Amino acid sequence: MGYINPLGEEKILNLLFKFSIPAIVGMMVNALYNIVDRMFIGRSGDLGSNGLEAITIVFPIMFILLAIAILFGIGGATLFSIRLGEKKQEEAEKALGNGFSLLIISGLVFMILGQIFLVPLLSLFGAKEEIMPYATQYMRVIFSGAVFQILSMGLNNFIRADGSPNYAMATMFLGAGTNILLDYIFIFVFKMGMSGAALATILAQLFSCIWVVSYFVGKKSRTKLKLKYMKLNFQMVIRIVSLGLPGFLLQLANSLLNAILNKSLLHYGGNVAGMGIINSIQALLVMPIIGIRQGAQPIISFNFGAKKYNRAKKAVKLAILAATIIIVVGYVVIRVFPEGIIGMFNKEPEVLEFGSYALLAWFLCAPVIGFQIIAANFFQAIGRAKSATFLTLTRQVILLIPAIIVFPKIWGINGLLYAAPFADFFSAILTGIWFYYGMKGLKEKPDEISNDIDGKVVL
């Protein structure tokens, strides 16, 4: 085969633009339609703050759904990229086929379990009696379309790794555009309430699912989805899971974090609807960073697999710079216009007052988030799953969850809100130390790091 993959030859800056900008746009659009969901629900006379609170309560369950897509999507795409870099085309096709099967199986399992245990699950995550009908209506429909969401989100990572970032971006546009349009129709025209918002989401993901599968069975893809490679291989499944584990655990941590946060807010007198708005703003702020991370991952993984270590290191440095610039701009906007931002979602006095104050406290140390996310992901991109898992979890689990539990006992609601900047700051310091030695070790001990892909992981 005479095809030369541009990931190993083209200028790193050009590649980062080519891969990250579509990913950023796609992730922003993705975040936007979740935000538009909240805006439509928050401004609907039938739903209002009750609808907003219900969406906030079910948010942890949505994180679990995303976690599954990341486990097999990012994990499979990382292995896929590394094998392409090593010029092992058949192994790359096996990674694609196995990833596809894992995404479908997990989606079906998630759907069945979700329908069976819906009410106990919502109670566990803090749904009060008056909120339960809203949350039940929403999640009953969401669980019905879980397989479409997991497959479309997971397989989109393979499209990017196959060298088609613009097509991956188009997937996001298709899903988001459809969702926003159907949200308006179902909520405001047909007055379908929470079930209408959920139906808009799963129909949008169904269209996205058809779109991503057609890519790998059509003419556009460089690597084809083949039936013979969909049969699960135990060793390959283990590798996919190990590489997807950091992102998976991060999303599970987000789920646990949001559940604890919601219960703590109720206990210490915070406003759950206001915190739900802050979750949306946080998604909007962090999604561009996730886009950069997604864009940089195949560049780093491919060049690591091809043993072009300087190119891999240059890619991560440029990604960190870009992520930091974006997050600082967002941080400045938040500091200048807190009330205006909260008011876009809901203008009820309690929501506005609490949300404006909480927004400033929660994002106090936000400028370091970009570095922490990209630097931690570097270890995942080169196959160092244990390092990536540990660093990824420092911010959301090891530091933030204990702080949310302990700080309010000492400082009340202020302790809860300032737990976030505490975790952001110290996780960035820890990641910085790890990253410094990781970059140094990549240059000095390439053979040792290469072995890490096959399970000999070096912390």
d(CA 293, CA 25): 13
Question: Which of 244, 241, 278 lies closest to 261 in space, CA to CA?
Answer: 278
Q: How many CB atoms lie within 10 A of CB 308?
A: 16
- For range 356-378, the mean pLDDT: 95
Residue 66 has pLDDT above 80, yes or no: yes
Two tokens, residue 22: 């579509």
d(CA 21, CA 240): 26
Q: What is the pLDDT of residue 160?
A: 87
Q: What is the pLDDT of residue 448?
A: 38
Q: What pLDDT digit, counting tens, does each position of 141-169 carry?
A: 999 999 999 999 999 999 988 988 889 88
**pLDDT over 70 for what percent of the chain?**
93
d(CA 304, CA 81): 9
Range with the poorest average pLDDT among 86-90, 312-316, 371-375, 438-442: 438-442
- Cβ-in-10-Å burial (0-12, 13-18, 19+) of 43 comes to middle
Residue 106 has pLDDT above 50, yes or no: yes
**44 — pLDDT class (breaks 50, 70, 90):** confident
Q: What pLDDT digit, counting tens, does each position of 199-247 carry?
A: 999 999 999 999 999 999 988 888 999 999 999 999 999 999 998 987 7
**48 — pLDDT class (breaks 50, 70, 90):** low
Do the Cβ atoms of 380 and 246 come closer than 8 Å? yes
**422 — pLDDT class (breaks 50, 70, 90):** very high
Two tokens, residue 81: 């990229």
- For range 248-270, the mean pLDDT: 84
Q: How many CB atoms lie within 10 A of CB 316?
A: 27
Residues with Cβ < 8 Å from 445, sequence gap 6 or more? Answer: none
All structural domains of the chain with their residue ranges = 10-454
**49 — pLDDT class (breaks 50, 70, 90):** confident
Q: What is the pLDDT of residue 6?
A: 76
Residue 458 has pLDDT above 50, yes or no: no
Range with the poorest average pLDDT among 105-109, 355-359, 405-409, 437-441: 437-441
Q: What is the pLDDT of residue 33?
A: 63
- For range 110-120, the mean pLDDT: 95
At 34, which amino acid appears? N
Mean of the per-residue pLDDT values for the chain? 87
- What does residue 138 show for φ and ψ, rounded to 5 degrees? -70, -50
Q: What is the 3-state secondary structure (H, E, C) of the chain?
A: CCCCCHHHCCCHHHHHHHHHHHHHHHHHHHHHHHHHHHHHHHHCCCCHHHHHHHHHHHHHHHHHHHHHHHHHHHHHHHHHHHHHHCCCHHHHHHHHHHHHHHHHHHHHHHHHHHHHCHHHHHHHCCCCCCCHHHHHHHHHHHHHCHHHHHHHHHHHHHHHHCCCHHHHHHHHHHHHHHHHHHHHHHHHHCCCHHHHHHHHHHHHHHHHHHHHHHHHHCCCCCCCCCHHHCCCCHHHHHHHHHHHHHHHHHHHHHHHHHHHHHHHHHHHCCCHHHHHHHHHHHHHHHHHHHHHHHHHHHHHHHHHHCCCHHHHHHHHHHHHHHHHHHHHHHHHHHHHCHHHHHHCCCCCHHHHHHHHHHHHHHCCCHHHHHHHHHHHHHHHHCCCHHHHHHHHHHHHHHHHHHHHHHHHHHHCHHHHHCHHHHHHHHHHHHHHHHHHHHHHHHHHCHHHHHHHHHCCCCC
- Specify which of 31-45, 74-88, 363-377 reaches the highest per-range mean pLDDT: 363-377
Residue 243 or 23, more confident: 243
Q: What is the CA radius of gyration of the chain?
A: 21
Residue 95 has pLDDT above 60, yes or no: yes
d(CA 352, CA 274): 7
Q: What is the pLDDT of residue 429?
A: 97
CA distances from 234 to 55, 99, 102, 121, 240 (A): 38, 12, 12, 31, 10
Q: What pLDDT digit, counting tens, does each position of 266-292 carry?
A: 888 888 888 888 988 888 888 889 889
- Specify which of 101-110, 295-304, 384-393 reaches the highest per-range mean pLDDT: 101-110
| Token pair 């290191």 in the structure block, residue | 313
**453 — pLDDT class (breaks 50, 70, 90):** very low
- For range 169-178, the mean pLDDT: 87
- What does residue 452 show for φ and ψ, rounded to 5 degrees? -60, -30
- For range 32-54, the mean pLDDT: 75
Give the alpha-carbon dihedral of 162, 167, 169, 171, to 10 degrees.
Answer: -110
Q: What is the pLDDT of residue 1?
A: 45
Q: What is the pLDDT of residue 455?
A: 37
In a 13 Å sphere around the CA of 196, the CA atoms on its Cβ side amount to 21
- For range 392-397, the mean pLDDT: 86
d(CA 441, CA 436): 9
Start-to-end CA distance of the chain, whole Å, equals 37
